[in-house]
Every structure is written in structure tokens, then in C-alpha cells.
Structure 1
Amino acid sequence: MKERKEWKQTEILAPAGSYESFRAAILSGADAVYAGGDLFGARAYAGNFREEELIQAIQEAHLYGKKLYLTVNTLLKEKELVTKLYDYLAPYYEHGLDAVIVQDLGVLRFVREQFPKLSVHASTQMAVTSALGASLLKKYGVERIVPARELSLSEIRRMKEETGLEIECFVHGALCYSYSGQCLFSSMLGGRSGNRGQCAQPCRLRYQAEGQKRPSCLLSPKDIMTLDLIPEFVEAGIDSFKIEGRMKKPEYVAAVTSMYRKYTDLYLKNGKERYHVEEEDKQKLMDLYNRGGSCTGYYHMANGKEMLSLDRPNHAGIQAACAERQKGRSVLLKALTQIHKGDILEISEKENVTMGQDVQKGGQFSILVAKGTEIRPRTVVYRTRNSFLIGEIQERLKKDQLKRPVCAAAWLKEGEPMRLRISDREATVEVEGMTAETAKKQPLDGKRVEKQLRKTGNTEFDIRDFTLSMEGDLFAPMQAINELRREALEAFREAVLQKYRRERPRRCAFLKKESKTIRDAFALSALVETREQAEAVLGNTQIGRIYIDGHLDGGIGQPDTIRWLKEQRDQAQKRGRLPEFYLAFPHIFRERAERQYDAVKKELFSFPWDGMLVRNLESIEYLRRNGWKGMIQADHHLYTMNRCAEDFLRGEGLQEMTLPLELNDMEMKEIADGEEELVVYGYCPMMISAGCIQKTTKGCTGKTVITKMKDRYQKTFYVKNYCDTCYNVIYNTAPLVLLQSRQEIEDIGIRKLRLHFTLEPGAETERVLKLYEDVFLRGETKALSEAPFKDYTRGHFKRGIK
């Protein structure tokens, strides 16, 4: 373990959804701010910045010795990347933008080629879950990883130790239920894609799992608060403490930023032994925003109901008063904390009361409630707005000033131009003014000259150290002295900013898409998760490839799984129709999965696989380190919405791609070259989560089961807990069925089609296989007139996403 004195200053990274929040952040002690412009940010509904505002913020950040990171953390469609991204980034690059935070692998490749001097941070939307994925990104010049928020502190420590990359972790604010970037819930239900910054937050709604008496917020995690963990974070090597909240108001940003600044500095100054967080400070943060309490996230927990806000998805406030009795509409309460005039007390989900007076803790007071509202004795009433605290923060922000300390020196000598030098460690400027003359009457007073030259007014600077050299009885108009100061300060400002400026790079030309010969016939493949499904597929002579999911019957590491697969392959070969066998790696490949695959490595790689299907960067790196030289295909979870993303993966040795589920047919046509595979059937994974519905509702059994969960419209979602690697997949209510889209698929030029079997028993698997054979291989459409599926969806094949 390193000695504490060797650790560098930990960065406090604050959110800014608006210019006001940016100012609040830097006034409150942030070292850096992350913000979105008017394009490509994962918070499309935040205020965000116009171009001139963002350039102003970049300049202000640099003048105060701070940094600004731009979120470009959405997936980009082909036309956007080709026609918009360069022009969007170029002005910010020229003004010294410190880094971009990216999700899209195509954007990463684009930025490295077009803006080579711009730092790139891998967004948590990339769902980097181990040192394997981080190492892969390091090769492409990624300087910082924002890991998946589901990682434990030990996993983060290992990532830091093995890669040496900067690590940025969320320390406060909202958690997603799904691994970020692996959620299609909002997208599939309503067309608002989280991968495009437009999430409608269906995870905050109520759902009812089978066995539950009533609906609850099963998918709504509490916000995290980790002040108590700051010593552990620093010791684990985390470089940047990231505060979530680009949708929050400036007062929230200011309060949370100042709190993490305070306690990080206290720890670095006093050490772990003397570190202590005041309960009053925690209470202030809870007063500003909490979802039914707070938790410390996944740093020391894998999952569990204590991490969830089951009763409500929004701000719960804090306990403010207890009801004593009610007479008519008048309710007598006793204050459990100091209550202020203007505070808002929540009576019910639909009724609030604004306080008209201050009440001391322990004091009694009465409120009027709506007609028909009944509050029983001992009912606790919560405060959802602390007007005094918010007003206090607002006043501080009005009064606080942030100034850059500089040194100044002035020289006034008869017959020579007046000179003023301003400097600090970063820059030095010296300007000349009018020539000083011999005073005929009243000479210049040195104290007054110094007073005038020290004035900095509304500028970003504060002259802390000043020296003045005056020789003789001199005269110069005070206006000229003031002008000398203004010119010097402006010159110094320009000198500081000039150090950050860059020349706009030449735009690189995009390579044209190669036209390839498209095969005439369709080819069907199938992915299976159970032995029953596998036997049905292997018994079908028309399936050219079978993907064996790594979770097959409890996981590929089960003692007889490989043996059984060899038997199935041998039997297929004897029948004279041997399909290609591909292994589908897990959706999430964390340390637990890596250990399991290591344990059966010899048996695993001795099987004659024809290829591997991967869903994350970690699996790619794992295969490389284990010497795999065969075919590797990217599943749709490795998004290739643009050709740059495809090129990135091809550069990593992947020969085949799967088209993303969020593209429509016209967008597919823009990027498809006839070699990609399209999923044409299956229950689409809506969420991949570390949270477990089975554990939340019934307790962990360690066994993979399928749980049903209904929404407010009584639609049923299927949830499968993959216990071997400990994650959940929530599947759509109805399967994706593209039987009626044969002609459109043919027009796109796609010939490789995949059926994804997850929940289906063997008989249903056989039925679906026969339908797709009839339609795509034989051109028969009779079956379609018989409504072969009770309920189905075409997904985004026609509608796409915004």
C-alpha cells in the first residue's frame, strides 16, 4: 500500500446541466466540470450549453485552473458521425477542451483520428467491468476509465493497478438499475433511447413480481452517498470523484460539490485515523435530494433490496414532523427538526403544505389540509423542500467570488513609458502605457498609484503580491494608469487562454463503403440457452450455425456441459449436417466470469469451436490473451451504429458483426455491406443488471430461474437471473418477429439471419424454426395469414429511434 503522502490530489468532478450549474460547481470547489453541448450528450433533457456558452465555460475553467470535459456519450448514427461530429467538436477543440467522454467505439476512433491531441475518457456507458476491457481501450489512447457503477472497490483497485489508467468513479447521486449502455427499456417501450440521451426512466415506475401482493419500485435504486468511503476510495487509487446530477439545480450541485471538497481535503490533510463525517452534513445532502434514503452503491455490495427505493422513485425528503391529532381540516403536529418558513411538507403524493412560519425542533404547530384528507396520530410527515438551506446556498453563490491569484510589478520613470507586469506560474505579460512626465504641480502619490493598479474589479484575477518602482516626482493622468491596468489584465487573460488553444486539424477523409457481392440465399442461425433448445436446433437441417450461450444449463463450466456438447456435435456430424458451433460469451464478463472460464480453460478451448460471439470488450481481450486465433463475431450489444464502430472492432480482429437492435431498415442500409447478421426473432434483452428481482422479492437461491414481472398495463416481462456470473436480464414482453419483413431485409442486402431462443421450450423452438424456414428459405407466406404469434413486436425495424 502506498503511503498517503504520495497520493496526488483527488479530483472533485461536478456536473453542469447549465451555465449556472457550472458557476455553482467551480465556486464550490470543483476541480473539473463535465457538461453537455446541444448534441450527442446522454442528458438530452438537461439545459445543456449553446456553443458560445460552452466556449465561455471552457475559458473560465482554464482561467481558474479548472478543467471542462464534454459529454459525447451517446451512440451516433452514420450520417451524424460523418456530417456533424467534426464541426461540433472543432470549436471546442480549438479553445482547449480538456477531454471528451465517449460511449460509441466509432466516436472513439473518430476522435483519435481527427483530434489526436484531445484526451478521451471512456464513459460508464461503455460498461467497462474489468482490467481486460480497460487494457483494450488503453491501446487507443484512452486516458481515463469511468467503470461500470456495479463494480466492487476491489475490482476497481485491480483495474487501476493493472492498467495505470486514470479511474473516475461516481460517488454521489442517482444509480441506474441496468448496466449503463446496456438498457433498451425506454427505447423499446416508447422509442426514447437511453443510448441517445432520451431515457424516459421506466425503471422508476412500479412493477409487480409474481408472489408480490402489490406493485413496488422494483427497479429503482436509492441514490448513493459515499462520504464515509472517501478514505477507501483514495487508497484504492481512484483519481476522480464524480458527482451525478446534470439534471439537478445549481443549489444541489453547489452543496454536494462543496461537501465532497470539504471531506476529501480533510482526509488528505488529517489521514484515515482522524477522518469523521458529521451527521449534520449528511442530513443536509438528504434534505436536498434522496430516494427513500441513501446507500453506498455496489462498492461493498453485489445487490439487494436495501439498495432499492421500493416505496417511491423520487425525492422522499426527511422526517420533519409527527401528527398528534386532527380536528376537521386542522392537524396538530410536533416538529422533529427545525422547520422554516417556506419549507414544503408532503401530506400525500398529491398534497403539499407550504409553511408560513418557523418552528423550533420539539415545537407544536397546526396546518390546514384539504377537505377529506385524514392524518392518523403518529403519522410522520416529510419535508421535501428546505427553503432555508436552499436560500443559504443561493446567498453564498451570490457572494462567493473565485479569483486567480497573480503577482504584479509596475515601473514609472520620467521620460519612459509606464510598464506593468502581471505573472503567475503559468504566464507572464508586460505592457507599456503613456510616457510619465515631470510633475509641474502635484506629483503622483505612490499609494494611490498602487491602489489603482491593484484593482481587478469583475475580472478573474486577484493581485496578491505587488511591487511599485517610482523614480522622481512624476505625473500621469489617472485615466492612463487605469488603462495600463486594464490592458495588462486583458493581455494576461489572453496569454493564459493562448496556452490552451489549438489549431483546428485538417478534416480526415472518410473511406467509402466497399461494395461487396451479396449472396443470393438467406442463411439461418440460432442462439440457444438450454439443452432442449439446442437439440431442437441441431435436429433441423437448415440451420447453418448454432450459438451455444455460455450460460447453457447453469454455465459452460458445469462438469458435463462440454462433454454433452461434443456428443451433440458428433451426432450432427453422423447425420451428415454439421452446423458451425459458436460459443456466446456472457453479456457481462467481470472477474467472477473470468475465474470461471479460467477454471475450465483447457476443456473449453479443446472443443472444436468454429467461432466466438462476444458482447463486451472484456471478452475480446480475454480471447486475445488466451491465444484464440479463430473467428470472432460482435453481438448487437457491441453497438455498431456507424461504420467507424465496425472499423474499430475489425481492427481488434473481429470479422463479423451483428446489427444493433435500435437501427431501422433505412439506417441499416447505410452501413450494411452484406456481411452483418440481423436478429430476426427473439425476446429482446431490455435490461442487463447486477440487481436481482429474485433476490429482492424471494431471496437468493443460487439457481437460475425465470421470474415474471408485470407493469401498470398488466404486460408481463420475463426476468432471468444468471447465477453463474450473477446478473439479471429483463426480456421484452413479446418476441421480436420479422417474418413479414422479408422483402425489406432482402432490399437492405442482409442475408445472415439469427433466431435467438431464450424462454422457449423445445416444441416452440421447433415451431419457430419451421416458420422462418418456410418464409425466408422457401419463400412461403401462407403461414403468415394464420397469425402465428399471439403477440409480437417488430422492434425498431421500421420506427427506429430519434
Structure 2
Amino acid sequence: MKDSNGKERKKRQEQMSLRENKVEILAPAGSYDILMADFAAGADAVYLGGAMFGARAYANNLSQEELLRALDYAHLHDKKIYLTVNTLMKQQELEDRLLPYLEPFYKAGLSAVIVQDFGAFEAIKEAFPGLHIHASTQMTVTGAAGAKLLKEAGASRVVTARELNLAEIKAIHDNCDIEIESFIHGALCYCYSGQCLLSSFQGGRSGNRGRCAQPCRLMYTPQTSAMPRTKGKGLRGDENRQKDSNGSAYLLSPKDMCGLPVLPDIIEAGVYSLKIEGRMKNVNYAAGVTGIYRKYVDRYLEYGREGFKVEDSDINDLMDLYNRGAFTTGYYNNTKGREMISLKRPNHMGTKALKVLKNEGGRVLFEALEQIYPQDVFEIDKENSFSSGSAYAKGSRFTVNLPKKYRLEKGRVLYRMKNGELTRFVEKQYVGQTLKKKIDVHLTAACDRPLELTFTDTSTGAAVTQTGAEAQAAQKQPAKKERLAEIVTALGDTPFAAETVKVDLQGELFVPVSALKELKRNCAQALEKKILGQYYRELPKGAVEDRIAMSQDTQVYMDTKDASVAGSVENMQIQAAQQSQTRPVTVLVTTLRQAESVYPMADITDIYFDFRLFIREKDSRMMAEAVGKCKAAQKNPVLALPHILRGKDSQKGRQLMENWLAAGADTFLVRSLEQLGLLKELSRSAVIRVITDANLYTWNTRAEQFLLKTTGTQKNLRIIRTTMPLELTAQELAQTKNAVLPRELIVYTHLPLMVSEQCVKKTLGKCDGANGRMTMTGYRQQYQVQSVCDLCYSILYDDTVLDISKPETLIDKAAPDSIRYEFIEETAEPDKVLTGRQNCEKTGRGHFELGVE
């Protein structure tokens, strides 16, 4: 050890400052052991779930005791922990459980919560001052307008939708002063996060509740006419390691993302936090991936773009840790299509490792396609594998005795599913390792004066000084500096490790060893207490209980409701309908012919026009005509905006909104925060009324308060009603009857189960840009895939019609203020359905009766 002259400490602080200001590596932690390994591998922060409200309910989430211990450990080592509270919350959960659950973590210094539910966002912001709120990727932030809304609402960070390209992320960075977090490695969802109901409606396991069953990783069969014409290596080519005789493939299963090749581009686009996916993965994956990204982030920060080069060996290691048939760089480079989909296999693919040269009755001669290590694991089929006992160089040949039953014909390639050498490296370097915080140690000993020991945190400069027993003049052998330094730096049972040591020994002294060791322990405890004390927070006694009581006071919501919609046309319609014992009925149409059939119907109050009717520039005349006919029929025209609106399409979306206003209409069905943000900008010069759709989730009354507050002081922008969620039962919907705003219930529709930037037609090589549909089957069900080519996304619809229009007693239980029929099929005839003259063969009630966990 050497004396500290301040230069090295300054250098460390500068490096840390650069790292903190430029970029953060954010790793997944499905358990306490993984958290420890992630930090050892170089993670700046981890995200994890606790006992409640996490979007990975089946991960080995941390208990309260483990999480509190983890927070202290992280704070001692200048790390951060972000707690996932990113599920949608039912009314009683939000009122009774959320705040008490978070209170101990807030007091212990939790850095941030990751939130999807608008109501949870609002409740946390009010109850826990100073706690950062990160807007989850489940909120589907796709542009700067949506990011601004969240910034104004109190978010300190947005986690962007995975589908954004580098230019779109940079636009958010340039136009909104908010931290940006983006995924850089791991699994990709086929659907925009937060917009997926496939698992929920297939088997009741809702992704919005952290229970996704991953049905996107199952096989699906397109119509025969939609199959691509290929030679040799089509969907049934020889490379397919899992085949199906009817042409099925893993059509909805994306390959994993690896952002390493474009890491400088991601950082320079303004991404502060680099997020690694994988809270369901094991410790070797989480720590191994983190270690590799730590290496390259440091390389970029030190040498810049010019010195940044990714080594093939590290990509190979990432492949060995987990891949689904090669990596993609995700959507960062604005790519999508077949090359991003793992058609052959939905899980770990491994890496090509062995080629069969000869098989004589189970005595198999292999050629090594890569360096082979002891304990490498090779897959034979789904159920069988074998391990290597020795190391073999690439290109070498060796023989293995295997059971004759295995089909290991000449020329077959086996894949390595586990790299033994990589596993040993990760376990030795990271797993089970405990970080030690670097400190400077200074001992002063003078005759007849108390020993004085100072510990200084080298990263922050925090210091404590403790005094102990007096040193005496030496009678025989005086104490030596080297021995005293050895004692005070033996810190094995503390969180610290000495970086430098200085012993100021004044004269020939006797220093009692036991007293010195006790002083060392006291000093370590005092420094630990001081460091942790900087993070601890206090709340006034009873503050959480008071907040819970306030949230249960329905008068608060009723006052807000009266103030926000009093005197509006919608409110008068609702009051009139209540007096006549009927509810207003609204209709969504996807063709102008459907609209024509609805105009004469007296019971209809609003007609929602699908945006695709008017998306092209030449459609403005038809738009004006539709608005005129609607008003002439004494109905309110509403423009149903796209299910998704990315930053790259914001100008097209804005033009659509302006055209609608120019046509003399002012009401919009809004389906994303980006759209709400754009309308807020337009409301500076026009009166705009908003109806939020079901995918702007209002599972609780707090969520509606949040939405109202996003409109801020813009008097021209009014949210006039919300659409009730699709995953709650009638009984659960009834619990929100004291909602801030009037509520509309969809009683007839084809459910949009997925909204995806991908397109099955494009994956199959059939992209024609014609906004068409195709049929796909899977999991004993049938689906319709709608290509929305004007904005280049797709919607996967349930082929079964959701119909809860009868009996009306069920609707009465949910207590909506109005009901809506949606005619998604272009061949549907609204007049016949609404008058009971047409019944669908395949109908269901969705979650209206059974709900989700």
C-alpha cells in the first residue's frame, strides 16, 4: 500500500463522475444472489421485484428483509436499486396495499420505483416526496410529446418502448429534459409492452399483472395462401430443429437483442441507462452479460468511438449465455421483419459446436466446430443431451460413445447449450463475490493520548474519526508502523477494504492490540452508519395512513368529476339517460358504409370513425362529408386515432388531427400518451375533447385523476370520458363507479390482443402495403392479423367476438355511464347487430365474469 497524495482519489472521482453523467448499466436481479453478482460484474444499478406488484410474478423476487438488506448493500457501494411496481392495480390494491408495501423501502433509501399504473404513479408521487418515479416501458412511450407529459406529471425517467429507433430516441432527448432508459440486451416482446392481452385472454394470465405465459413463443399456423414460396430453407427447411408437418412456425417469437455493436450510437442518441433484460434468467446469464457490457461501456468512455471495437469472442460468449438463433440489434437501426423472428425455435438456441463425421452403432466421431471445454453441454433433442469430459481445439476430432437410439446421422450439427469454461469464469469472478468499499485509513498514535483512527470513503470523501485507549511509552519493544498498518487494514469482516494507509506514530510507543482492533471495529461501524444515514428518509407519523384514508374518500373524486365535466354535452346526455333509465350508446365503424347504416339510428349518440378511413391526404374531402353527415344526424363525430403512434409518424398523426379539427369536429378517441401530448400542443389554438381508450388503463379511480392532471392548465383540452378496462370483471369495474370521469364500457368488439411493430405478412414474405388481413391459428384458437400499412404496424385480433351486451343486468353491475359497440370487421352490419337481427356464431364474455389474477 502507498500513502495517499490525493491524485488517485481525484482520478477515481473523475472517472465515477464521467460514468454517472454519461451512462448507467442497469442489470436484472431476480434474487438477492443475482443482485450481488450483478454488482460484482460492474452494474451501476439493478432493477428487481419485491413481494407485490412486479411484472415478473414468477421470478424469485426478494422478500422485505432481503430487499432492505440489498438497499444497505447497494448504498454502501454507491449503487442504486430500482423497484418494479409495474403492474396494473385494482381499486382495493391501490387503496389498501401499495403505500404500506413501499413505506419501509422508501425509508431505507430506495432510489426509484418503476411504474406502469397511472394511479400508482399519482399515489406514490403524493405519498413519498423525493422518490424518483420511472415510467415503465409498459406505458408505451414512443415520442417526445408523451415523454413531456410524464415529465410534467413528475417522472424523472422514461423507459422507452423497445420499438424506437435511434433517431426517435434522440428526438426525445433533444426535446424533453428527462432521463432516458432503453433496453440494450435480451428478449424482445413481439407486442408493444403494455399493449398485449394475448396471454390474458388465452389463459387468464395477464402480462399487465406480471403473469405472462409467453404465448408468443408458441407455434402458429398461417393460412396456406399466406405461406411464402421458398426453396430449400423455408419455414420447413433442413435447418429447423423443431418442425411441424402443417407448416407451423414460431411466427411471433423475436430473436434476442444485442446492442453491443451499436453501443456508441445508443449512448450518443441520449440513452442514459442501458437496461439488460432478464429477471427470469439465472445468475450466470445476468452477471455474465453485465460483465461484458461493463467492459465495453468503459472502453467507450475511455477511448471514445474511435477506440471502440467489439471482439468476436465476446459476442460468442453472449451467444453461449443465451440466444434465440443469432442476435439482432433490435429496432435501433429501424429494421424489422423476418430477420428479427426466430422461426425455428422459441428458446435458447445454443451455438453450433459439433459435426457428426461417422456413427458406428453409437460410437460417434465428431469434429469440433469451436473450441470445446470440459463440462460443455450438447443437445441431442428436447429431452437428451451429453457433456464433454475434456477440452478439444477447434477443428480437432474425437469419439464419444452414446446410446444407439439417438439419430446422429453423418453431417448432423449439434449445438452447445452450456459453455463450461464461461460458466466457471462467471462463477469465479462474480457469483458469491462481496464488494468491498475502498477507504483511506489514517491512524495517529502519541504518548499518553487516545489513539485516533480515521476512515475516509475514497469515492465520496465521507469520513469518520474514532478515539480509543491511550498509547503508552514503550518499556520493551516499541510498536512498528508496519504492524499497526497491518492491524488497522485487516477489514475482512467489514464492508470495507483499505485503499491507502497512513500511520502517524509519534515516538516509541506501546499500543494495545486488542484496543486497536476494537477501535477499528468501532470506526468501521461508524462509517457504515454515516454512509447509510445519508440515504435514510423519514415520514411524518401516520402519513401513509392519512394518504390511504384520503384515497378512500369518494367525495374527493366526486368533487373532481363535477368540476371537470359539469355542463358538458356528455354530462347532460348521461344525466338525461339516467333519468330515462337508458344509457347512451356509441358505435365505432371501420367503413363509411357502416356509418351510413348508423346515421338514422336514434339511440346512437356518438360515431367513432377509424382513422384509416381518412389517413391519406386525398381523404380530407371524405372526412368533411362524414363529419357533416354525422352532425346532421345529431350525432357527435369522434376520430379513433391509431393504436400506436411513434415519433417518426408524429407529423402524420398531427396532420390527421389538424384535418379533423378543420373539418369541424373536435373529439378524439386517444390510444397513447404520445397522442394526448400532441393534442395538448394543438389545444393552444383549438378546443379539443378527448375520450381515452381501454389501453390507456384506468383500473382505479386514481388513474383518472392522473389523466386529468396531464391536461394541466390547458383549458381548451378536456378529457370527457374514459373507456373501462377489458381485463376487469363487472364486480371490479363497479368498484370504480365513483370515478373522476364518465366511463364507457365496450360491449361488442373483436379484442385487439396485440399491437406490434412486426407484421406476420412481412415475416412470411407477403408484404403488399395493402392494409389487408390474414388468418392465423394457434393454441387451439384462431386470430385475425390486421396490417396497418399506412403507419406500418399490425394488430392481432381475437377471432371470437366479445359480446357482453346481454343480459343487461351484467352491464348494470359494472355501472358504466355509456356503452360502445365496435365493428372491427369491415363486413359487419351495425344496424342488424344493434337491432338484434344478426348474431355471431363465435362469441365470448372475455374477463367480464372471470377476470384475471
Contact map agreement 2:701 2:738 (CA 8 A) in 1: no
Residue 732 of structure 2, aligned match among 661, 667, 670:
667
The 5-angstrom pairing of residues 710-725 of structure 1 reads 710-713=777-780, 715-725=781-791
Deviation at 1:167, TM superposition (A): 0.9
Is 1:420 aligned with 2:453?
A: yes
Tell me what 1:317 maps to. 350
Residue 165 of structure 1, aligned match among 166, 178, 192:
178
Q: How many Å separate the matches in 1 of 2:611 and 2:489?
A: 70
Stretch deviating more after TM superposition (45-54 or 666-675): 666-675
The 5-angstrom pairing of residues 430-445 of structure 1 reads 430-445=465-480
Q: How many Å separate the matches in 2 of 1:222 and 1:470?
A: 64
Is 1:687 aligned with 2:754?
A: yes
Tell me what 1:239 maps to. 272
The 5-angstrom pairing of residues 394-413 of structure 1 reads 394-397=427-430, 402-413=435-446
Alignment CA distance shift 1:251-1:753 (3 Å)? same
Q: How many Å separate the matches in 2 of 1:340 and 1:408?
A: 44
Q: How many Å separate the matches in 2 of 1:105 and 1:594?
A: 23
Tell me what 1:590 maps to. 646
Alignment CA distance shift 1:306-1:267 (3 Å)? same
Contact map agreement 1:412 1:469 (CA 8 A) in 2: yes
- Where 1:82 maps in the other structure, the secondary structure is helix
Tell me what 2:145 maps to. 132
- Where 2:380 maps in the other structure, the secondary structure is strand
| CA deviation string 1:81-100 (max 9, x = no partner) | 11111111111111111111
| CA deviation string 1:447-499 (max 9, x = no partner) | 22221111111322122222222334433431111000000011000000000
Q: How many Å separate the matches in 2 of 1:437 and 1:670?
A: 76
Q: How many Å separate the matches in 2 of 1:28 and 1:571?
A: 65
Stretch deviating more after TM superposition (402-411 or 314-323): 402-411
Q: How many Å separate the matches in 2 of 1:407 and 1:127?
A: 46
Q: Which runs of 5+ in 1 are unaligned?
A: 775-782
Q: How many Å separate the matches in 1 of 2:848 and 2:20?
A: 51
Deviation at 1:610, TM superposition (A): 4.8
Q: How many Å separate the matches in 1 of 2:802 and 2:779?
A: 22
Tell me what 1:778 maps to. none
User: Letter of the aligned partner of 1:540 in structure 2?
Assistant: M
The 5-angstrom pairing of residues 155-554 of structure 1 reads 155-210=168-223, 211-212=226-227, 214-397=247-430, 402-424=435-457, 425-505=460-540, 506-507=543-544, 508=547, 509-510=550-551, 512-514=553-555, 518-519=578-579, 520-552=581-613
Tell me what 2:805 maps to. 739
Contact map agreement 1:149 1:169 (CA 8 A) in 2: yes
Tell me what 1:779 maps to. none
Deviation at 1:228, TM superposition (A): 1.1
Alignment CA distance shift 1:748-1:722 (3 Å)? same
Residue 113 of structure 1, aligned match among 119, 123, 126:
126
Q: How many Å separate the matches in 2 of 1:241 and 1:398?
A: 22
Is 1:608 aligned with 2:671?
A: no
Contact map agreement 2:170 2:269 (CA 8 A) in 1: yes
Contact map agreement 2:627 2:665 (CA 8 A) in 1: no
- Where 1:179 maps in the other structure, the secondary structure is coil
Contact map agreement 2:606 2:638 (CA 8 A) in 1: yes
Is 1:644 aligned with 2:706?
A: no
Deviation at 1:33, TM superposition (A): 1.0
Q: Which runs of 5+ in 2 are unaligned?
A: 1-16, 228-245, 563-574, 712-717
Alignment CA distance shift 1:229-1:381 (3 Å)? same
- Where 1:294 maps in the other structure, the secondary structure is coil
Is 1:801 aligned with 2:852?
A: yes
Contact map agreement 1:592 1:725 (CA 8 A) in 2: no
Residue 49 of structure 1, aligned match among 56, 62, 67:
62
Contact map agreement 2:324 2:347 (CA 8 A) in 1: yes
Stretch deviating more after TM superposition (197-206 or 530-539): 530-539
Contact map agreement 1:557 1:597 (CA 8 A) in 2: no
Tell me what 2:715 maps to. none
TM-score (structure 2 length as normaliser): 0.88
Q: How many Å separate the matches in 1 of 2:631 and 2:188?
A: 49
Alignment CA distance shift 1:324-1:131 (3 Å)? same
Contact map agreement 2:455 2:464 (CA 8 A) in 1: yes
Deviation at 1:397, TM superposition (A): 2.4
Alignment CA distance shift 1:446-1:573 (3 Å)? closer
| CA deviation string 1:186-218 (max 9, x = no partner) | 001111000011000000001011133600011
Aligned pair count? 778
Deviation at 1:329, TM superposition (A): 3.1
Stretch deviating more after TM superposition (229-238 or 311-320): 229-238
RMSD value, Cα: 2.1
- Where 2:645 maps in the other structure, the secondary structure is coil
Q: How many Å separate the matches in 2 of 1:801 and 1:455?
A: 55
- Where 1:8 maps in the other structure, the secondary structure is helix
Q: How many Å separate the matches in 1 of 2:720 and 2:319?
A: 50
Q: How many Å separate the matches in 2 of 1:523 and 1:434?
A: 84
Stretch deviating more after TM superposition (24-33 or 533-542): 533-542
User: Letter of the aligned partner of 2:611 in structure 1?
Assistant: G
| CA deviation string 1:661-706 (max 9, x = no partner) | 0111111111124820001011110000000111111332221001
| CA deviation string 1:5-62 (max 9, x = no partner) | 9993311111101111111111011111111111111111111111111111111111
- Where 1:654 maps in the other structure, the secondary structure is strand
- Where 2:515 maps in the other structure, the secondary structure is helix
| CA deviation string 1:207-232 (max 9, x = no partner) | 01113360001100000111111111
- Where 1:546 maps in the other structure, the secondary structure is strand
Is 1:634 aligned with 2:701?
A: no
User: Letter of the aligned partner of 1:736 in structure 2?
Assistant: L
Residue 156 of structure 2, aligned match among 143, 150, 170:
143
Q: How many Å separate the matches in 2 of 1:463 and 1:5?
A: 24
| CA deviation string 1:397-427 (max 9, x = no partner) | 2585532221122222333322211113342
Q: How many Å separate the matches in 2 of 1:698 and 1:208?
A: 15
Contact map agreement 1:580 1:610 (CA 8 A) in 2: no
The 5-angstrom pairing of residues 724-763 of structure 1 reads 724-763=790-829
Deviation at 1:524, TM superposition (A): 1.2
Deviation at 1:322, TM superposition (A): 0.8
| CA deviation string 1:257-289 (max 9, x = no partner) | 111111111122122223211101100110111
Deviation at 1:145, TM superposition (A): 1.1
Alignment CA distance shift 1:453-1:762 (3 Å)? closer
Contact map agreement 2:28 2:47 (CA 8 A) in 1: yes
Tell me what 1:102 maps to. 115
Deviation at 1:735, TM superposition (A): 0.9
Contact map agreement 2:55 2:209 (CA 8 A) in 1: yes
User: Letter of the aligned partner of 2:642 in structure 1?
Assistant: P
Alignment CA distance shift 1:373-1:755 (3 Å)? same
Tell me what 1:780 maps to. none
Tell me what 1:34 maps to. 47
Stretch deviating more after TM superposition (89-98 or 366-375): 366-375
Q: How many Å separate the matches in 2 of 1:112 and 1:45?
A: 27
User: Letter of the aligned partner of 2:491 in structure 1?
Assistant: T
